[in-house]
Amino acid sequence: MPLFDALSFRKTVYASGGCHSDALRPGIILSEDEHELLLDCVRCGFCLASCPAFAQTLDEADSPRGRLHLLRALFEGRINLTETLLKHFDVCLACRACQAVCPSGVRYGFLIELVRARLERMGYGVTRHSPLLRMLIKWVFPYRRRFNAFVSFVEMVRKIGLVKLASQLADNIAFTDRLRKWLQVEGMLPRERQRNAFYDGRSVIPPKGKRRMRVGFLLGCASDVLLKSVNEASVKVLAHLGCEVVIPNGQTCCGAIAMHVGFEEDAKRFARRNIEVFEKLGLDAIVTNAAGCGAAMKEYSQWLRDDELFSERAFKFSSLVRDFSELVCELPFSETMKPLLMRVTYDDPCHLLHAQGIREQPRKLIAAIPSIEFVELEESDICCGGAGIYGLLFSENSMWLLERKLERIRESGADVVVTANIGCQLQLQYGVRCYGLNVKVMHIAELLALSYEIGR
């Protein structure tokens, strides 16, 4: 790995448009205190090997330390904010892989979300080139009823053949950018989905046998609309292991996607709502089966640190949050497992491994299933390209990572690839469908439910 050379890096930045005619406005977007956080980076370069964006372009400006260097230059007025420069911030997957290996403890995840929020306020948000996706992210995806109505509409359009017709038009008509974006959204949605679950309309699911814990369960947006079967498996497993599962009706989106794209105030509003709903239930833990949601909820205390009314409440809330696999490992999970004759591999979700530091628990759960053959996945710690809505915003970058991931899955010889995040599951299912890979994609909750023989 080449050492960082400040002079050549500066030439790269300026040549790529840092000071050229595409300047939008002066780019001081951080305060003095926030600027101090940039100085934690000692430019050692450990982050380069872990960064999926840098792996594609081999451009320093697309690396974590490169972006931090750009931010310092912006703050100090040495370069302007340009469209070219914005792209270097945009293509970051916010996977936190760099943060996990940083020996200096640079708070990169915090900084990239902070920068995106400031850019959004200035009118240069990551969704600026796609009004459709901006509308969906802000007004549809975080609201389960609206999201469900949107998906039902897409399914109807697909059923009557309009998607096939639109695909043919997209190949033959020049003015089809917006049409292609619609087709891309449609392509990412699952071909089939479970519409109802046994817990629908119920706020409390009793435990099987003696109660060990009382836990709150976050339904999630994509989970409850696109992969309700995962939620059902999660709740059944928790109840099977002695948890009383509380599903409050007033819960809302965790705010993760909103925060990732710079809709900071929306994210904070969702956080406050969830705190108000869950804090009065007398819970031992708050559980989610989506790594992105878990990482976000564990950071509510950071999001609301300056909110006098919610800062302390957010800290208490975050301290209760557990990933599904994290909590199940605290319970007697192996006592009633039945054998499964499968060759299984596991893909680490970025926001479980890098953001939450959870690696061993999912592997421990899989390996405990009798008769199962577990094989490690090469490069399991590298992003699959899903990264929330990254696959919709930057499809070429996303597909490059997805193809790389699918090749590693193929090499593993596994019959089943297991993940612990809804977004990763959707991305992998999309890839398996596109490339005809003979592999089943499952959430770890679905695998456990199968072993406990409590599936549908």
Task: Tell me the mean pLDDT in the region 414-433.
Answer: 94
* Per-residue pLDDT reduced to its tens digit, 352-379: 999 999 999 999 999 999 999 999 999 9
Pairing of strands 23-26, 80-82: antiparallel
Note whether 307 and 240 are same-domain residues.
yes
Note whether 148 and 47 are same-domain residues.
no
Note whether 233 and 323 are same-domain residues.
yes
Question: Within a domain: residue 284?
Answer: yes
Greater pLDDT, 15 or 58 = 58
DSSP 241-277: TTEEEE--TT----SHHHHHHT-HHHHHHHHHHHHHH
Residue of 360, 296, 395, 305 whose CA lies nearest to 94? 296
Q: Which residues contact 193 (CB under 8 A, 6 or more apart)?
A: 151, 225, 226, 227, 228, 229
Q: Could you list the residue range(s) of the whole structural domain that residue 380 is in?
A: 343-452
Question: Within a domain: residue 142?
Answer: yes
Q: Give the CATH number of the domain where residue 361 resides.
A: 3.40.50
HEC string of 21-75 equals CCEEEECCCCCHHHHHHHCCCCCCCHHHHHCHHHHHHCCHHHCHHHHHHHHHHHH
What SS3 class is residue 295? Answer: helix
Q: Which residues pair with 111 in a beta bridge?
A: none
User: In the predicted model, what is the mean pLDDT of the chain?
Assistant: 87
Note whether 220 and 321 are same-domain residues.
yes
Note whether 424 and 363 are same-domain residues.
yes
Question: Within a domain: residue 197?
Answer: no
Q: Cβ(303)–Cβ(268) under 8 Å?
A: yes
Q: Give the CATH number of the domain where residue 53 resides.
A: 1.10.1060.10
Greater pLDDT, 22 or 247 = 247
What type of residue sits at position 288? T
What is the pLDDT, as a whole number, of residue 130? 81
CA 124, CA 319: separation in Å to the nearest integer? 34
Tokens 């612990």 locate to: 420
What is the pLDDT, as a whole number, of residue 28? 60
The region of weakest confidence among 82-96, 178-192, 382-396, 417-431 is 178-192
Note whether 348 and 439 are same-domain residues.
yes
Question: Considering the chain, what percentage of its residues have pLDDT values greater than 70?
Answer: 88
Task: Tell me the mean pLDDT in the region 413-441.
Answer: 93
CA 243, CA 123: separation in Å to the nearest integer? 46
Copy the structure tokens of residue 408: 């590693």
Copy the structure tokens of residue 412: 């593993």
Exposed / middle / buried, residue 267 (Cβ in 10 Å: 0-12, 13-18, 19+): buried
Q: Cβ(111)–Cβ(45) under 8 Å?
A: no
Question: Within a domain: residue 136?
Answer: yes
Note whether 34 and 103 are same-domain residues.
yes
The region of weakest confidence among 5-19, 165-179, 185-199 is 5-19
What is the pLDDT, as a whole number, of residue 19? 37
Residue of 150, 288, 295, 278 whose CA lies nearest to 219? 288
Distances (CA, A) of 371 to 144, 343, 344: 39, 9, 11
Question: Within a domain: residue 334?
Answer: no
Note whether 352 and 427 are same-domain residues.
yes
What type of residue sits at position 247? I
Note whether 164 and 248 are same-domain residues.
no
* Per-residue pLDDT reduced to its tens digit, 134-157: 898 999 999 999 999 988 888 887
pLDDT of 168 above 70: no
Note whether 145 and 116 are same-domain residues.
no
Domain end marker among 99, 121, 143? 121
Question: Within a domain: residue 229?
Answer: yes
Domain end marker among 281, 296, 328? 328
Note whether 408 and 384 are same-domain residues.
yes
pTM: 0.88
CA 367, CA 283: separation in Å to the nearest integer? 30
Task: Tell me the mean pLDDT in the region 32-55.
Answer: 87
The region of weakest confidence among 50-54, 131-135, 428-432, 439-443 is 131-135
pLDDT of 292 above 90: yes
In total, how many domains does the chain have?
4
Question: Within a domain: residue 335?
Answer: no
Question: Within a domain: residue 193?
Answer: no
Domain end marker among 72, 89, 121? 121
Q: Give the CATH number of the domain where residue 292 resides.
A: 1.20.1050.140
Note whether 312 and 268 are same-domain residues.
yes
